[in-house]
Amino acid sequence: QVQLVESGGGLVQAGDSLRLSCAASGRTFNDYTVAWFRQAPGKERELVAAITITWSGGTAYYADSVKGRVTISRDNAKKTVYLQMNSLKPEDTAVYCCAARPAGVHNYDYWGQGTQVTVSS
């Protein structure tokens, strides 16, 4: 069982940066894919970034809408995955959730409660 808790959201101005954290309890993220999703009011949930974590490292995926502005990373010792977001835009405003699934499993089985990111213009 994996429990996820996000933190780091807030209200910022356009051009600012934020770092979101997704902390796991229950086990480490090794051999898991951990992703950040976001959902804005009236819009579908969007996959922002994902990282597949193995003993030898991790491979990352980024949505085109955030590529070049966002970095996903992990700290194995802290069992935490981070989402560093730079040059934030008003259209980045959304609830951001992290989710995890075992490598090779299609569906994300574990979800956090979400953290609000609001970017003012």
Cα–Cα dist 20/98, whole Å: 9
Q: In this model, does residue 2 exceed pLDDT 90?
A: no
Give pLDDT tens digits for 67-102. 999 999 988 888 999 999 999 999 999 999 999 998
Nearest partner of 80 among 98, 94, 92, 96, judged by Cα: 98
User: What confidence score (pLDDT) does residue 47 get?
Assistant: 97
Yes or no: say if 32 and 53 are a contact pair by the CB < 8 Å rule: yes
Task: Give me the percent of the chain exceeding a pLDDT of 70.
Answer: 98
pLDDT 10s digits, 108-120: 999 999 999 999 9
